[in-house]
Amino acid sequence: MPNVIGYARVSTTDQDPQMQLDALSAAGSARIFTDTASGRAADRPQLREALAYLNPGDTLAVYRLDRLARSTADAVRLMGELNSRGIEFRSLTEAIDTRSPGGRMVYTVMAAVATLEAEIISERTKAGLAAARAQGRVGGRPTVMTDERRRLAKVMAGEGKNNTEIGKALGVSRTTAAKLRAAP
């Protein structure tokens, strides 16, 4: 008997896949595989396991298409693999079902839209960072590499202190202490 196999993905450990898991369960998933990885990550072990678990006649279900593929090319490649193995595909929120030619066409169009959306977000982020830099703002944590700390690190190193001891004394990590010691 064919099964519905679910696949869920969140990008970071801070995100909660529960909404996806609930929707996939409600859609009748016999088993759900979950990755915590960026959509752009090539290695998604749970997706690999889900694909290996699927049998002809089964359906791979995802909450949204962007949870499955990294790009239009990746989506089309995955669809080709599923089709060649006799496996159907379903996206719950976009109502994509590949049991018909129209469903397969919608899948390809939605994959292209998802790729476009990801590229636009990336471009906006890069433009925003460039605009902030142009105004003299720099992202990230403020540096702890003051001239005084560099001098103290060098003095302590000259006294035979190791990076752990220097780091504790200056209130920085061992790695930062090593960088302070090595700085000109």
Distances in whole angstroms, Cα of residue 105 to Cα of each of 7, 101, 158: 21, 6, 69
Which of these is catalytic: 11, 25, 29, 100?
A: 11
Q: In what helix (H) or strand (E) does residue 169 lie, and over which residues does it extend?
A: helix 163-170
Q: What is the pLDDT of residue 85?
A: 94
Rounded Cα–Cα distance for residues 146 and 130 (Å): 26
| Annotated catalytic residue 11 | yes
State phi, psi for 149 to the nearest 5 degrees.
-65, -40
Share of the chain above pLDDT 90, in %: 34
Q: What is the pLDDT of residue 102?
A: 79
Condensed to tens digits (0 to 9), the pLDDT of residues 102-137 reads 777 877 777 777 778 878 888 998 998 888 889 988
Q: What is the pLDDT of residue 38?
A: 77
If one looks up domain 4-120 in CATH, what number appears? 3.40.50.1390
Reported pTM: 0.59
- Residues with Cβ within 8 Å of 149's Cβ and at least 6 positions away in sequence, in order, are 170, 172, 180
**Type of residue found at 60:** L
E-only strand ranges, 11-58: 29-36
Q: What is the pLDDT of residue 39?
A: 66
Q: Residues in the chain with pLDDT < 50?
A: none
* Six token digits for residue 91: 């996206």
